[in-house]
């Protein structure tokens, strides 16, 4: 399968309009990392295995101003984020060459041992997503649903707040979660803005709460639950616990089937004049 991927990338990079091909390679320490291939002679660096965790779609907004076509290898779950990036006009579909990487029923490897990564359970691929090339059938692996983490159910509001105080206090304000997330594609993030200055160095607990609250609400309705934010966090903050709770609330309130799974836009990215609960002052 890797040979087929390399051949597809080689043919693509021989095109005069090819900008680069985004895939995975083995780093010197043996781990898997993203790679940007710009020459047909470098395609042997490309790999595909159960340790290809990174959602490569997160890099595509960086090519918005490029004239050439960008090739990219995506897992079925990553195609959900691609659909949302295209829907949000962050990616021009005509300027991306998409190669689908099929998963097996083993999914991605767990952090320890040869088990299955938590993110793979209950995974659903987008229906009728149009790939330019595939290495095999792009079908949902059919793994059982993820076991719901109900560790906060039944807690009083004060107890929940105490839990999140302890978690958020771990944050070292490194921005790893923001930088690896496909959904953090704003050209200018409010946390980098100097005028107005929303936060300082985020050393206080209040500012850490502000950062993670704003980011979570910004992503609700767009988070595909890839778990890259939590995997990238060096402090071990339980970010997906927060993201999943908000995501479950949206699905329960609006009955959506999952972000990026179908052509139906996320509920919080739509607007109707017939909204039964208009905001104050919203009358025409």
pLDDT band at 201 (very low <50, low <70, confident <90, very high): low
DSSP string for residues in 179-192:
HH-TT---SS-TTT
Comparing CA positions, the residue from 254, 190, 197 lying closest to residue 220 is 254
C-alpha–C-alpha distance, residues 130 and 261, integer Å: 13
Residue 279 clears pLDDT 60, i.e. is over it: no
Residue with the bigger pLDDT between 240 and 279: it is: 240
Q: What is the pLDDT of residue 280?
A: 53
Instruction: Evaluate whether 15 touches 69 at the Cβ level (below 8 Å).
Output: yes
State yes or no: pLDDT of 242 exceeds 70.
yes
CA 149 – CA 143 distance, rounded (Å): 17
Given a cut of 50, whether residue 282 has pLDDT beyond it is no
CA 74 to chain CA centroid, nearest Å: 11
Could you give the dihedral angle defined by the CA atoms of residues 10, 11, 13 and 15, in that order, rounded to the nearest 10 degrees?
A: 160
| Per-residue pLDDT at 202 exceeds 80 | no
**% of the chain exceeding 70 in pLDDT:** 90
Residue, of 276 and 162, whose pLDDT is higher: 162
Strands lying side by side in the sheet with 18-26: 32-37, 18-26, 69-75, 96-101, 133-134
How confident is the model at residue 71, as a pLDDT?
97
3-state secondary structure at position 37 = strand
pLDDT in tens, 110-162: 877 788 988 888 888 887 899 999 999 898 888 888 765 566 777 888 888 89
- For the record, the structure tokens of 155 come out as 């807690």
Report d(CA 260, CA 244) in Å as an integer.
15
Does pLDDT of 42 surpass 70?
A: yes
| CA–CA distances in Å: residue 183 to residues 24, 25, 31, 142, 226 | 20, 24, 25, 26, 11
Domain boundaries, the chain: 2-134, 157-269
pLDDT given for residue 150 in this prediction: 63
What mean pLDDT do residues 242-246 have?
Answer: 85
Number of residues that this document lists for the chain: 284
Q: What is the pLDDT of residues 95-122, one digit of tens each?
A: 999 999 998 778 898 877 788 988 888 8
Rounded CA separation 17/33 (Å) = 25
Whether residue 257 has pLDDT greater than 70: no
d(CA 162, CA 172): 18
Residue 284 confidence (pLDDT): 45
């Amino acid at each position: 399968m890797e040979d087929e991927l390399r051949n597809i990338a080689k043919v693509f990079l021989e095109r005069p309009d090819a900008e680069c091909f985004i895939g995975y390679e083995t780093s010197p320490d043996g781990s898997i990392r993203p790679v940007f291939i710009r020459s047909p002679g470098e395609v042997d660096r490309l790999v595909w295995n159960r340790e290809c965790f990174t959602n490569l779609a997160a890099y595509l907004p960086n090519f918005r101003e490029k004239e050439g076509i960008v090739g990219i290898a995506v897992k079925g779950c990553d195609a959900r984020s691609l659909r949302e990036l295209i829907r949000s006009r962050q990616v021009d579909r005509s300027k991306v060459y998409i190669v689908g990487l099929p998963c097996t029923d083993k999914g991605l490897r767990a952090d320890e041992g040869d088990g299955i990564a938590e993110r793979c359970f209950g995974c659903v691929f987008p229906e009728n997503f149009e790939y330019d090339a595939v290495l095999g059938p792009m079908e949902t692996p059919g793994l059982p649903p993820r076991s719901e983490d109900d560790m906060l159910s039944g807690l009083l509001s004060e107890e929940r707040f105490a839990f999140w105080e302890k978690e958020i206090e771990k944050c070292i304000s490194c921005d790893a979660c923001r930088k690896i997330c496909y959904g953090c594609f704003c050209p200018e993030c409010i946390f980098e803005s100097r005028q107005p200055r929303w936060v300082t160095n985020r050393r206080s607990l209040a500012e850490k709460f502000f950062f993670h609250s704003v980011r979570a609400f910004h992503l609700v309705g767009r988070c595909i639950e890839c778990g890259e934010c939590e995997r990238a966090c060096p402090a071990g903050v339980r970010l997906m616990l927060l993201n999943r709770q908000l995501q479950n609330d949206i699905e329960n309130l609006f009955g959506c089937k999952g972000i990026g799974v179908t052509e139906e836009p996320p509920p919080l990215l739509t607007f109707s004049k017939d909204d039964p609960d208009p905001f104050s002052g919203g009358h025409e």
